[in-house]
Amino acid sequence: MLSNTLRQIQRQSVRAFSSETKIWNVYLSGEIHSDWRNVIAEGVQKKNLPVRLSSPNLNHEDSDDCGAIILGMQEERPNWDRLGAKMNDIRTKTLLSQADIVVVCFGEKYRQWNAAFDAGYAAALGKPLITLHPPEISHMLKEVNASANVVCEEPEQVVQTLAYVILGELPSTPKDGDRFIPIADRLGKGNPNP
């Protein structure tokens, strides 16, 4: 039997058919207090993927105050917030609507209703959706994940998914490491269905 690593080498010799490179627009929505976007950006760059990343404005303070700074302050918080949110909305909805793939990241600490809102918005537009969150909050996200194509736990998995989707490139080490057995080896040829 072949080692997994060797198998990977074999596999990678047969790649997806593509006579010319398309640039894939990928919108990164959600969580702004951790560095997941940078991990994805570095991974995309390292693998040299034909990907154009975009995101909402990531400066929390600016996204709260932008409306008040440009248009003037408001006495009450809901009015202050609305000015800013409608301004951010121009960027968010434009980039999300023009994306090929939408990635939405949820964390344990914040409610991030805007992330779930973006996921719903993307789903209604028929965008392929990738969610990213720690497994501990999986149950609370079951409706969101039901509309997702891929549910990741780590940003590296998002990069691996993009590499596979776009170039047909799979990681040399599977998530389950040496325990990984291809389905055809495990169940035998002929599509048994235990």
Footprint (CB under 8 A) of its own copies, residues 28-87: 28, 37, 41, 44, 51-59, 61-62, 64-82, 84-87
164 counts as binding its own copies under rule CB under 8 A: yes
Sequence-ordered list of residues with C-beta below 8 angstroms from that of 168, at least 6 positions apart, any chain: 12, 15, 16
> What is the DSSP track for 74-113?
-SSHHHHHHHHHHHHHHHHHHHHHT-SEEEEE--SS---H
Residue 84 CB coordination number (10 Å): 21
- 96 CB-contact burial (10 Å; exposed 0-12 / middle 13-18 / buried 19+): buried
Q: How far is the CB of 147 from its own copies (least distance, A)?
A: 7
138 counts as binding its own copies under rule CB under 8 A: yes
128 counts as binding its own copies under rule CB under 8 A: yes
124 counts as binding its own copies under rule CB under 8 A: yes
147 counts as binding its own copies under rule CB under 8 A: yes
Q: How far is the CB of 133 from its own copies (least distance, A)?
A: 10
Q: Residue count at the site for its own copies (CB under 8 A)? A: 118
| Residue among 31, 43, 101, 155 that touches its own copies (CB under 8 A) | 101
Q: How far is the CB of 75 from its own copies (least distance, A)?
A: 6
- Determine the 3-state secondary structure of 160 from DSSP: helix
Residue 180 zone, left/alpha/beta (φ > 0; ψ -120 to 50; rest): beta
157 counts as binding its own copies under rule CB under 8 A: yes
| Residue among 3, 109, 139, 188 that touches its own copies (CB under 8 A) | 139
